[in-house]
Amino acid sequence: MRVAYLGPAGTFSEDALEVSRFAPETFEPLITESIPAAIEAVAAGGADRALVPVENSIEGSVRPTLDGLIEQADRVRIAGEYDHEIRSALIGRPGQAPEEIEVVISHPQPLAQCARFLRLELPQAELRVASSTSAAVREVATTDQSWAALAPARAARLYGCEVIREGIEDEPGNATRFLWLAPADAKDPDGADGSGRGGSWKTSLAFAELGADHPGALVDALYEFSNRDINLVRIESRPMRRELGRYRFFIDVEGRAGEPSIDAAIEGLRSKAEWVRNLGSYPTS
């Protein structure tokens, strides 16, 4: 099985993949330069699965994942989820002192998750964005400037650096929810079709264009679920990327497609929205 994820080696995505209950004992890694590229690899048939971050307990949703799921909704579906504890480390070249650090570089998520630490402990440092945490460590390893990176501690060993401080995230219990993606036409991906299985299930949906703007339009759409006693566990809006004031909505509900109440609610939602996309039904983490 070929599995796509955000690289290079040493990212939080790789950490999560190594311990995820979905990952097979042996797999061929396909390291991508971005989250959308990992999703596209599954859509185009270059990978059998992908593991991508979608939500962090401190910073909220990972927008490239949401946008990528919409773009590839006809070819990719969510087959599972996994909550992974995130512990960030401040990483520099051997012998580097914190007071010498002039630049801290990382992916936008860790920079935001460690904002208080950076503000209080490294007020002199300029913050810069990298494509991934491990790409940031790789830059630190190859520069002769006083730079440091935020990344998993294991990335320090991979690139010949050392951990200056560990556990620097702003809140204890920092965790990221990852999604296990499969081709839309995959049959029973990893046992995620519900046959012969109990436990809790979740269905992720996206929808937009609720007709002419009027008071209660979103409430009317969501009533299709509350009226059937279906619990809504998450909702988020994202711009349509065409003009101000137009949004698409992402929701997670308890239950799975194939259950009469879920299917009826989705059909009811289709009568309220111009388009509805089922992003997948899968066991809860």
Chain segment 78-103, per-residue pLDDT in tens:
999 999 988 999 999 999 999 999 99
pLDDT(197) > 70: no
Q: Which amino acid is at 270?
A: R
Number of domains in the chain: 3
Residues 98 and 161 in one domain: yes
Residues 157 and 231 in one domain: no
> DSSP letter at 101?
-
Residues 101 and 67 in one domain: no
CATH number for the domain that contains residue 109: 3.40.190.10
Q: What percent of the chain has pLDDT over 70?
A: 95
Look at residues 183, 216, 245 and tell me which one is the last residue of a structural domain: 183
Contact, 98 vs 116, CB < 8 A?
Answer: no
Residues 179 and 41 in one domain: yes
Residues 278 and 205 in one domain: yes
Residues 138 and 123 in one domain: yes
Between 187 and 206, residue with greater pLDDT: 206
What crossing angle do the helices spanning 260-270 and 217-226 adopt, rounded to 10°? 160
Contact, 176 vs 52, CB < 8 A?
Answer: no
Residues 36 and 104 in one domain: no
| Range of weakest confidence among 30-34, 91-95, 198-202, 271-275 | 198-202
Contact, 12 vs 35, CB < 8 A?
Answer: no
Residue 195: per-residue pLDDT: 47
Residue 242: per-residue pLDDT: 74
**Cα separation of 40 and 47, whole Å?**
9
Residue 8: per-residue pLDDT: 85
Assess whether 12 carries a catalytic annotation.
Answer: no
Residues 80 and 112 in one domain: no
Residues 134 and 179 in one domain: no
Q: For residue 194, tell me if it sits in a domain.
A: no
Residue 194: per-residue pLDDT: 47
Residues 240 and 111 in one domain: no
Assess whether 178 carries a catalytic annotation.
Answer: yes
- Which entry of 32, 133, 176, 203 is annotated as an active-site residue? 176
pLDDT(269) > 60: yes
Residues 70 and 114 in one domain: no
Residue 198: per-residue pLDDT: 56
Both structure tokens of 77: 């579906």
For range 150-161, the mean pLDDT: 94
- Which entry of 22, 117, 178, 207 is annotated as an active-site residue? 178
Q: For residue 268, tell me if it sits in a domain.
A: yes
Q: For residue 119, tell me if it sits in a domain.
A: yes
Domain that holds residue 234: 199-283
**Cα separation of 222 and 31, whole Å?**
38
Contact, 22 vs 189, CB < 8 A?
Answer: no
Look at residues 183, 208, 224 and tell me which one is the last residue of a structural domain: 183
pLDDT(196) > 50: no
Residues 68 and 178 in one domain: yes
Residue 9: per-residue pLDDT: 86
Q: For residue 191, tell me if it sits in a domain.
A: no
What is the dihedral sign for C-alpha 31, 33, 39, 45? negative
For range 174-199, the mean pLDDT: 75
Residue 21: per-residue pLDDT: 72
